[in-house]
Amino acid sequence: MSAPLKSQIPRIRSALRFYKVSSYITGVFLLLLMITWGIRRLPFLGFDLWLGGPNGFITFEDYGVEGEGLPEVGINLTVLILIVHGWLYVVYLLADFRIWTLMRWPVTRFLLIALGGIVPFLSFYTEAKYAKLAEQELQELEK
């Protein structure tokens, strides 16, 4: 494992900020995704979160059999959260790749950080651990 280049420190700090922000946002949306999909898939619930439908501003609408009976007006927030998390995960992977390449870390670290976007709560752990590690390595490099 080789050390990052001293000339890359400003870029690394920028990449680190980008990684921290994307990690938290992706982690929050993953938790929202788990909650809304749980509400849909649990046998005794079976609802989608709906915005601006016929029954109110924000309501739970009966999902039925494969979505039959959902309102034809409004926005299905369950699906919207799923789509937004998917795109945020792409941004998270970009942030992971950027910090990984600049820090010259092993590929296993890249893969572990990448799992943070699909395993609930892991993004918060990996952000705390690897952001701290990156800061320590940068301090050593600046000496």
User: DSSP of 78-98, one letter per residue?
Assistant: HHHHHHHHHHHHHHHHHHHHH
Would the pLDDT of 137 be above 80? Answer: yes
Assess whether pLDDT exceeds 80 at residue 15: yes
Is residue 105 situated within a structural domain? yes
Mean pLDDT of 83-102: 96
Q: Which domain holds residue 14?
A: 7-135
Within a domain: residue 141? no
End-to-end CA distance of the chain: 19
At 1, the pLDDT band (50, 70, 90 cuts) reads low
* Domain count of the fold of the chain: 1
Give pairs for 41-49: CB < 8 Å, separation 24+: 48/76, 48/77, 48/78, 48/79, 49/76, 49/77, 49/78, 49/81
- Report the amino acid identity of residue 42: L
- Does 142 map to a domain? no
